[in-house]
Structure 1
Amino acid sequence: MTGSVLLEVSGLTKNYGGVRAVDNVSFTVAPGEVVGLVGPNGAGKTTLVDCIFGTQKADAGTVTLSGRTLGGASEKRARQGLSRTFQHPQLALELSAVENIVPALYGRRMSSPLHSLWWALKGPFENWGATADRARAVAHEYSIDDTTSACGELSLGGQRLVEVARAMATDPQVLLLDEPFAGADHTGIAAIAGAVRKIQAQGRGVVLVDHNVDLIAELATTVVLLDFGSVEFHGAPAECLASDAMREVYFGAGEENS
């Protein structure tokens, strides 16, 4: 990891009426750095990821990638070097891993499984064979051995791994992973963790959201602890696990957190 910064999130804020879901959040991601976002349900983790990626529009703050301030919708930010996965895999379950990855290689970020299926069936097929070969190579790079079965036949961990591979097919500088381990069995967790380490070794940045704080502590180089949209701790994983802030957020320290 170098001292440079790939992603800078500065003062990001998002309100829903009178509720502040994300409250003045700031952090950076350097090349080869995995930043773990942790916090209880409702802490604002997914909303923060949505605002970084442009799925939702922030009310205040900026997102900068390699010194360039990002704006506009998520499709534009994807072209500028961000990619993401979702809490619930956004795959066309009728299609194989290769068929789900191909649209990303054509520069399309599919907004829904139906969109992906429509594009694969009706979209342009120039150089289909070569592109399918590239998609297959991406799948194998991230340890997806079954590239022909419909994704609906894969385990949930397998589906999540396909989504990670598809996100990486866009060649992002920074990957946002929203609960990639949720619902995965031991084999799936190991495969996804291996993918995260591979992405880190490539010198890319990763923002990793998950409820498994032990797993986050194992993979992350830095942890950001959120509660009620605010940063309660920002620092090394071991220090976060041992901090008063972690105990207060997860186990309660009085009426405010009951």
Structure 2
Amino acid sequence: MTVTDTTTPVAAASHGAPILQARGVTMRFGGLTAVKDVDMTVNEGEIVGLIGPNGAGKTTFFNCLTGLYKPTEGEVTLMGSVIPPRPRAVVIAGMARTFQNIRLFANMTALENVMVGRYCRTSSMALTSILRGPKFRREEAETRARAQELLDFVGLGKSAEHLARNMPYGDQRRLEIARALATDPKLILLDEPTAGMNPQETRQASDLIFKIRDSGLAVVVIEHDMRFIFNLCDRVLCLVRGEVLVEGTPAEVQSDPRVIEAYIGGGDDDESDESDESSDLGPATTTEVSE
């Protein structure tokens, strides 16, 4: 399977030590095993892609990594330390994420949305905040300045005072990334960052992710757009029915006949996702998949 690309490939950065390691992660819901014995390592300065048909367990695995779910079995470590299954603890440890469905504060400005992301890095207590003491005012000024820097970084510097609900869809996606970056992560996980985007917005998202990688962060991306993922990532994992089908470089994964079968030949991964099955076949068609 080959993916035709019209863009110039971007050279991968040299990779450092492992920053995230998942070992034997299994997640069961009653009698249903959504994720089974999945291993994954993400190194410093690396972009890793996670692909698979609908119902493959990708978002469930993300939720296990980020503390929304406590794995039934296995463990997740960040920079060598086991991460407790609590989202706030995960964020403080240095891992941030975005969601498949945008979760912005619609009635806040772009700047205020990013400032919210800094909450985990401030230390003012309730009384100081209520009284607006010197420490609170100093941290608020620092938070505002940092939020503006991040808006500039993602290309939204002139939209700081716009309400999130009034921003174009692509800008909302970038705003959510800026809010995740406000937590000062070492690793950022992006759940379908180009879902619903047009080709121009998708190219901008790709450029932004490379920019994030070049700033020193590791990145993990779930995506259905095969052209996007194969041109973006250093390594790709393909999940099918909750298990790792294949892992390797983009060239190795896209040429593996098992991946072709998973996307084109298998249409019964999860009954709950039957209505969305066409969203898997669509990207395969638009990315000019051929045998």
TM-score between the two structures when normalised by the length of structure 2 = 0.79
How far residue 126 of structure 1 moved from its aligned partner, in angstroms, is: 2.7
Contact 2:56 2:269 in 1 (8 A): no
Give the secondary-structure state (helix, strand or coil) at the position aligned to 1:6.
strand
Contact 2:241 2:269 in 1 (8 A): no
Match of 1:157 among 132, 146, 170: 170
Contact 2:230 2:250 in 1 (8 A): yes
Q: Is 1:140 aligned with 2:152? A: yes
Deviations 1:190-242 (A, max 9, x none): 22212210111123211100100110001110000001100001000111111
Give the secondary-structure state (helix, strand or coil) at the position aligned to 1:2.
coil
Extract unaligned runs of 5+ from structure 2: 1-13, 123-129, 271-276, 278-291
Aligned residue in 2 for 1:9: 22
Question: Following superposition of structure 1 onto structure 2, how do residues 184-199 of structure 1 map, counting pairs within 5 Å?
Answer: 184-199=197-212
How far residue 255 of structure 1 moved from its aligned partner, in angstroms, is: 8.9
Contact 2:109 2:161 in 1 (8 A): yes
CA distance in 2, matches of 1:72, 1:37: 21
CA distance in 2, matches of 1:84, 1:72: 15
Aligned residue in 1 for 2:104: 91
How far residue 158 of structure 1 moved from its aligned partner, in angstroms, is: 0.9
Amino acid in the other structure paired with 2:137:
E
Deviations 1:12-64 (A, max 9, x none): 00011111100110010001111100011111000000000011111011111
Give the secondary-structure state (helix, strand or coil) at the position aligned to 1:56.
coil
Total equivalences in the alignment: 247
Contact 1:161 1:191 in 2 (8 A): no
Identity %: 35
Amino acid in the other structure paired with 1:126:
R
Aligned residue in 2 for 1:22: 35
Extract unaligned runs of 5+ from structure 1: 110-121
CA distance in 1, matches of 2:60, 2:41: 17
How far residue 82 of structure 1 moved from its aligned partner, in angstroms, is: 0.6
Contact 1:101 1:166 in 2 (8 A): yes
Aligned residue in 2 for 1:126: 137
1:59 to 1:143, Cα distance in 2 relative to 1, 3 A = same
Amino acid in the other structure paired with 2:60:
T
Amino acid in the other structure paired with 1:139:
L
How far residue 148 of structure 1 moved from its aligned partner, in angstroms, is: 1.3
Structure 1 runs, 4 residues or longer, greater than 2 Å off: 122-131, 185-188, 253-258
Deviations 1:116-169 (A, max 9, x none): xxxxxx997633344222211111011113121111111221111001011011
CA distance in 1, matches of 2:182, 2:116: 9
1:243 to 1:71, Cα distance in 2 relative to 1, 3 A = same
Q: Is 1:48 aligned with 2:79? A: no
Amino acid in the other structure paired with 1:134:
R
Amino acid in the other structure paired with 1:77:
V
Contact 1:155 1:184 in 2 (8 A): no
1:147 to 1:255, Cα distance in 2 relative to 1, 3 A = closer
Aligned residue in 2 for 1:82: 95
CA distance in 2, matches of 1:255, 1:87: 22
Give the secondary-structure state (helix, strand or coil) at the position aligned to 2:18.
coil
TM-score between the two structures when normalised by the length of structure 1 = 0.89
Amino acid in the other structure paired with 2:85:
G
Give the secondary-structure state (helix, strand or coil) at the position aligned to 1:93.
coil
How far residue 253 of structure 1 moved from its aligned partner, in angstroms, is: 6.3
1:251 to 1:123, Cα distance in 2 relative to 1, 3 A = farther
